Chain A
Amino acid sequence: DIVVTQSPLTLSVTPGEPASISCRSSYNLLHSNGHNYLDWYLQKPGQSPQLLIFLGSNRASGVPDRISGSGSGTDFTLKISRVEAEDVGVYYCMQALQTPYTFGQGTKLEIK
């Protein structure tokens, strides 16, 4: 199975400040079609996960543009340019290149 590793595991951020989460894969997620099969999800407290970013850098419908995904191959980053209270929750990256799809451990974002 592809191993996906996130860091940090917890993040405490002041509102209005930026935040960044790293996701590393044990296998190159860049497909020959040019797409990176790496998604980002946010699970807000008490809710189901929601898709934020697909194919490494594409925002899902309704996701604000202060949230962005970047990276290629084995190293990826989720950035929030200005953290807001609604961003609280656990962020997961997931590789969708090959089954079984696998997730990072999750990064808990808290507001200072």
Chain B
Amino acid sequence: QVQLQESGPGLVKPSETVSLTCSVSGGSISGFWWSWFRQAPGKGLEWLGHIHYGGTIRYKPSLGSRLAIVLDTPKNQFSLRLTSVTAADTAVYYCTRTLLDGSADYWGQGILVTVSS
């Protein structure tokens, strides 16, 4: 059974950078897409971006150059780095395994990131 676990800081100051890691167990990181989503408090789901084992990356354009997703194959992990955060980036961040058809079949439990001074 594939399991994903997000880790990282729960509190980040405005204008700083948040880095989150997703650890994958029970399966290899090879051959799949790996995605990040988020959900602001009381709001709906938002796709942020994904990365393929082969190196292809897609980001949500509205995030501009603030977002980076990196794969660490030897550690079976992937990570998210979001720079210049504001209160609007406060959300629960989820990592997922994503199939070739775009569906996210395994989700982490989510990690709440609060942006506040």
Q: Identify the A interface with B (CB < 8 A).
A: 35, 37, 39, 41, 43, 48-51, 54-55, 60-61, 92, 94, 96-97, 99-106
Contacts and interface: CB of A to CB of B under 8 A. Distances in A.
Contacts of A101: 47, 102
B103 A54 contact: yes
B60 interface: yes
Interface string B31-60: 000000100000011110110000000101
Using C-beta atoms within 8 Å of the partner chain, give the interface range for chain B: 20 to 34
A103 B45 contact: yes
A93 to B, nearest CB: 10
A94 B107 contact: no
Contacts of A99: 47, 49-50, 58, 60
Contacts of B107: 48-50
A35 B100 CA distance: 12
A63 B81 CA distance: 34
The prevalent SS among residues of A at the interface is loop
B101 A51 contact: no
B103 A96 contact: yes
Given A92-B45, A100-B61, A60 B105 contact: yes
Contacts of A100: 47, 58, 60-62
A55 B44 contact: no
Interface string B78-101: 000000000000000010000101
A35 B103 CA distance: 13
B108 interface: yes
